């Protein structure tokens, strides 16, 4: 089982346990790795809680992480919502001075292929994301970068659990039929987090969990930390094995 922790994303800073400052993010990276996460995905956040890929803030955050958890594989977003558009995104990434191990590129966004190529050119590991079946053609067309992906993230946007699971599996089937060979990872959001995670485990794919995606444990109670979510995901995997 492969677990990717997504520790903050754009979850509001009003949620007390969500790490925002570089120091908080670094400590959470260390804790989630100790709890069983294989890799950790974070978003640098400004003093107001906004998401950012600004070179200076990213460098500060990664420096804190490397100090607290030097051996953890870490990645960040290249989300267009963190920038002023595709050109600005490329310029910011070109100016990153301290690099994460990997970066995520969403193929629903304008300029995704160019961003993916830049990630590789700068020496980072690439993971690509598709949010719906409509994103698949753009991903498959990016032949120069497709085979370099360490994984493809399948991120269904459905609000209902059944729809999210169905679409995750449909996307996976289409990617596999098209010859995509790298590992696949499903993750949901909000109410779909745990059903999609269970589907990924059932289907033999990688999973993602953390405050970026949801704030609740499987029983519906609030999670007090990303560590609690990681532990709950591991328990879900154990329960699934017992049912087989």
Mean pLDDT by 10 residues, the chain (244 residues): 98 92 98 99 97 99 99 98 98 99 98 98 98 98 95 97 98 98 98 98 98 98 98 96 78
The predicted pLDDT at position 243 comes to 78
Structure tokens, 27? 């400590």
Distance, in Å, from the CA atom of 187 to the CA atom of 207, rounded to the nearest integer, reads: 6
The predicted pLDDT at position 234 comes to 98
- Backbone conformation region of residue 165, classed left if phi is above 0, alpha if psi is from -120 to 50, else beta: alpha
Distance, in Å, from the CA atom of 227 to the CA atom of 212, rounded to the nearest integer, reads: 13
The predicted pLDDT at position 182 comes to 98
Distance, in Å, from the CA atom of 128 to the CA atom of 137, rounded to the nearest integer, reads: 13
Query: Terminal CA-to-CA distance of the chain, rounded, Å?
Result: 16
Nearest to 147 by CA among 109, 115, 120, 177: 120
Distance, in Å, from the CA atom of 157 to the CA atom of 164, rounded to the nearest integer, reads: 7
Per-residue exposure over 128-165, b if at least 16 CB sit within 10 Å of its own CB, e if not: bbbbbeebbebbbebeebbebbbbbbbbbebeebeebb
> Which residue stretches of the chain are H helix?
22-35, 55-68, 86-94, 112-121, 136-141, 143-146, 161-177, 193-203, 226-243
pTM of the model: 0.96
The predicted pLDDT at position 143 comes to 87
Cβ–Cβ < 8 Å for 235, 209:
no
Cβ–Cβ < 8 Å for 24, 49:
no
The predicted pLDDT at position 89 comes to 99
Structure tokens, 223? 């999670």
SS3 assignment, position 188: coil
Q: Which domains does the chain have, with CATH numbers?
A: 3-243 (3.20.20.70)
Q: Phi/psi at 92 (nearest 5 deg)?
A: -65, -45
How far does CA 183 lie from the centroid of its chain? 14
pLDDT digits (tens, 9 = 90+) for 145-155: 999 999 999 99
Sign of the C-alpha dihedral computed for residues 82, 30, 94 and 45 taken in this order: positive
The predicted pLDDT at position 241 comes to 83
SS3 assignment, position 133: helix
């Amino acid at each position: 089982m492969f677990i990717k922790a997504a520790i903050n994303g754009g979850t509001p800073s009003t949620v007390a346990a969500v790490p925002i400052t570089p120091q908080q993010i670094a400590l959470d990276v260390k804790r989630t790795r100790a709890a069983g996460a294989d890799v950790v995905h974070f978003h640098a956040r400004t003093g107001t809680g906004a998401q950012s890929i600004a070179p200076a803030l990213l460098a500060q955050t990664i420096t804190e992480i490397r100090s607290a958890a030097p051996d953890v594989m870490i990645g960040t977003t290249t989300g267009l919502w963190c920038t002023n558009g595709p050109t600005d995104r490329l310029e910011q990434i070109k100016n990153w001075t301290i690099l994460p191990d990997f970066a995520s590129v969403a193929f629903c966004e304008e300029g995704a292929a160019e961003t993916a190529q830049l990630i590789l050119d700068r020496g980072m590991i690439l993971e690509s994301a598709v949010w719906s079946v409509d994103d698949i053609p753009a991903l498959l067309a990016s032949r120069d970068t497709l085979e370099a992906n360490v994984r493809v993230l399948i991120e269904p946007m459905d609000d209902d659990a059944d729809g999210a699971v169905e679409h995750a599996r449909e996307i996976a089937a289409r990617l596999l039929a098209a010859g995509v060979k790298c590992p696949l990872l499903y993750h949901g959001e909000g109410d779909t987090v745990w059903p999609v995670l269970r589907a990924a485990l059932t289907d033999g794919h990688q999973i993602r969990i953390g405050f970026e995606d949801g704030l609740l444990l499987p029983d519906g109670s609030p999670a007090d930390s990303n560590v609690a979510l990681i532990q709950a995901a591991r328990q879900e995997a154990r329960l699934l094995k017992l049912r087989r």
